Each structure stands twice: as C-alpha cells, then as structure tokens.
Amino acid sequence: MGERRVIFAIDDEAENLKLLERSLPDYQLQTFTDPKDALEQAGAVKPSGFIVDYKMPSMNGVELLKAFRERGLTGAAVMITAYPDLDDVVFAEQTKLVYQIVAKPYEPRYLPDILQLAMIQSRVLTQNV
C-alpha cells in the first residue's frame, strides 16, 4: 500500500479531532485546534485535503479555506458544522470552496467515503481548470 495522504483537520474542540483520528485511520491526519497554526504549516506540507469546523473563535471555516486557497492550496475540503444552512456555508459549497458539508451530528463511519468522494471531486475539478 502507498503512502497515506496528509489531511489537515481543524476544529477548536480537541474531542472532535480525536473522533476524526479514530474515523480516518487510512489517512495521516495532522490536527489543529487553532486555524492560524494550520495556516502556518500548510504551505510546507501541502496537504491533500482539509476537514474544517465552521465555528471557531479566531476565524470560521470558510475564512480558513479561503486563506488556504489564497496560498495556492487546492486540496479537497470537507466542512463539518452544526450550521449547514448559513448563507456563508451554502455559498462555500456552491462555489466549490467546500466539496462536502457534513451536518452535526453525523455518523463517523461515513467519513472515509465522504473524504474520498471529496478528493475525487477535487481532482476532477482541478484537472478541468
């Protein structure tokens, strides 16, 4: 089997990050409770994907994903949120900033499939640019 893909997981609640680690053992998750720390490290690592929470104290998930994109990072993005109907979140999905919205509460066993689909969709869209 090949090298595991690096995925950045960003959520201000450490318990949510632990759940992601347990749910996605086939990926190399780098977890962050502070979005700014993830931004600092992303350029050097160039992760294949991002799993972000929407509501965080220093910046929300949409702002964080925009900052990743401004830095040229095109990895697949999944947003896990208790606020899937917010205009900001819906707009992010419609403009393909986010490839998949996962509403809380969610079933963790579906995360590998959700992430894999987001990564496929991301590859297809970046190849067609």
Length of the chain: 129
Topology annotation, domain 6-127: Rossmann fold (3.40.50)
Amino acid 1: pLDDT = 45
Measure the CA–CA gap between 14 and 31, rounded to whole angstroms: 9
What ranges do the domains of the chain cover? Answer: 6-127
Measure the CA–CA gap between 71 and 124, rounded to whole angstroms: 20
Amino acid 124: pLDDT = 80
CA nearest 119: which of 37, 50, 52?
A: 50
Q: Which residues of the chain have pLDDT under 50?
A: 1
Bridge partners for 20 per DSSP:
none
Amino acid 66: pLDDT = 95
